């Protein structure tokens, strides 16, 4: 067997780390598409979201797929930077609990894919313990595929990732005052 085939075989059972980043539209859509593809092959997916509201079309579809478990939040907080001190404290507690629940579920070994939508923002704002997150990614279960989305990934995250796809905005209707549209942007 050639060296290339041997190295490729090494990755067949190993879960890899994906990052979808950038200022363009489509990071969550790419992650949701990967989750749907994995579910189509019978893989079990845990899909968790930070700093997003629960009124999203992709969640309505993902919730209907038995192989995908979406962790929903009772309350949405909106843009973290626009929250007052009390709201930030409440959001921090909610997202800390979400991270802990995610880690607890993953540690059980019953998932093949973990999607953490808006991971970068949660990480950059300190809503996810950074060193703990880095440790998790370095020591994640061998077969677990991990998908992280968001803007401005820490260079240490990029270094750990196997895939890094940047989605770059060239033009967006928001620049012309067009607000987010149901079924298209959410």
pLDDT in tens, 35-75: 999 999 999 999 999 998 888 889 999 999 999 999 999 88
pLDDT at 11: 46
Is the confidence at residue 164, as pLDDT, over 70?
Answer: yes
Q: For the segment 123-136, what is each residue's pLDDT rounded down to a tens digit?
A: 999 999 999 999 99
List, as own/partner pairs, every contact residues 71-79 make where C-beta atoms lie below 8 angstroms and the sequence separation is at least 24, other chains included.
Answer: 71/46, 71/47, 71/98, 71/101, 71/102, 71/105, 73/49, 73/98, 76/52, 77/51, 78/53, 79/51
9 pLDDT more than 80: no
| pLDDT confidence band for 10 (50 / 70 / 90) | very low
Query: Which one is predicted more confidently, 10 or 162?
Result: 162
Across 128-153, average pLDDT: 97
Over range 98-123, report the average pLDDT: 97
């Amino acid at each position: 067997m050639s060296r290339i085939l041997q190295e490729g075989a090494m990755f067949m059972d190993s879960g890899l780390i994906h990052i979808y980043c950038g200022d363009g539209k489509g990071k969550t859509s790419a992650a949701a598409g990967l989750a749907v593809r994995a579910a189509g092959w019978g893989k079990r997916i845990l899909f968790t979201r930070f700093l997003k509201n629960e009124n999203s079309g992709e969640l309505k579809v993902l919730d209907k797929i038995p192989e995908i478990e979406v962790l929903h939040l009772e309350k949405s907080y909106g843009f973290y930077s626009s929250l007052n001190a009390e709201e930030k404290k409440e959001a921090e507690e909610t997202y800390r609990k979400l991270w802990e629940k995610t880690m607890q579920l993953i540690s059980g070994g019953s998932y093949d894919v973990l999607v953490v939508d808006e991971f970068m923002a949660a990480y950059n704002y300190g809503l996810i313990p950074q060193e703990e997150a880095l440790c998790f990614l370095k020591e994640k279960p061998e077969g677990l595929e991990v998908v992280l989305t968001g803007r401005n990934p820490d260079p240490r995250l990029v270094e750990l990732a196997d895939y890094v796809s940047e989605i770059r905005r060239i033009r967006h209707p928001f620049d012309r005052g067009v607000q987010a549209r149901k079924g298209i942007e959410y």
